[in-house]
Structure 1
């Protein structure tokens, strides 16, 4: 496969058992000659206010999601997601991501 266009699901996992968010996306994936892939996409459905708040919160905490393609119960590839101002999503494989993030909460 050097190109895939269709739907996929972004999943944000807090740990191995707790998924805090799932977002269906329309996606186009391309693979270069060395096997590195990148993708662009958009949310398959417009996010309502609550979904948008959840998405923004997760993106601020850590923009790494796993991606599940059709037929997969759970995503296995980690991706770094960057959202442009027009809602376009850019995804790049994050194979070196170790599952840890730096999150600081201001409780004052």
Structure 2
């Protein structure tokens, strides 16, 4: 079982050109027999940023996970207790981003 830990960002995009929010997160990714699991938590302790993150998750839990090297991929955020969350790979339904 491989383990990867990093600080990265979850970016929430209103459309293909407008990023409305970016939050710093601490993430631990573990490989499994069937893929991977990712658990993380918000780095910020600012109540306004945490509330904004929760609101965006409720509106649409799809974020871009961006690493320090600027690589990124799309994930779905599943909020847990407090500032904790898990991630899953996002598979877009046909046409999701064609409306921008």
Report the equivalent of 1:54: 52
How far is the alpha carbon of 1:71 from its aligned partner? 1.2
The DSSP-based 3-state class of the residue aligned with 2:53 is helix
Q: Please list every run of 5 or more consecutive structure 1 residues that lacks an aligned counterpart in the other structure.
A: 102-108
Report the equivalent of 2:42: 43
CA displacement 1:49-99 (0-9 Å, x = unmatched): 2x2332122111101111011211x63x111111112321111111x2247
- Structure 2 distance, partners of 1:17, 1:66, is 13
Asked if the contact 2:44/2:50 (under 8 Å) is kept, the reply is no
Q: Please list every run of 5 or more consecutive structure 2 residues that lacks an aligned counterpart in the other structure.
A: none
Q: Aligned-pair RMSD on alpha carbons? A: 2.2
How far is the alpha carbon of 1:29 from its aligned partner? 0.7
- Structure 2 distance, partners of 1:60, 1:31, is 27
- Structure 2 distance, partners of 1:11, 1:30, is 22
Shift of the 20–30 alpha-carbon distance from structure 1 to 2, 3 Å rule, reads same
Q: How many residues align?
A: 96
1:11-90 matches, cutoff 5 A: 11-34=11-34, 36-49=35-48, 51-72=49-70, 75=72, 77-90=73-86
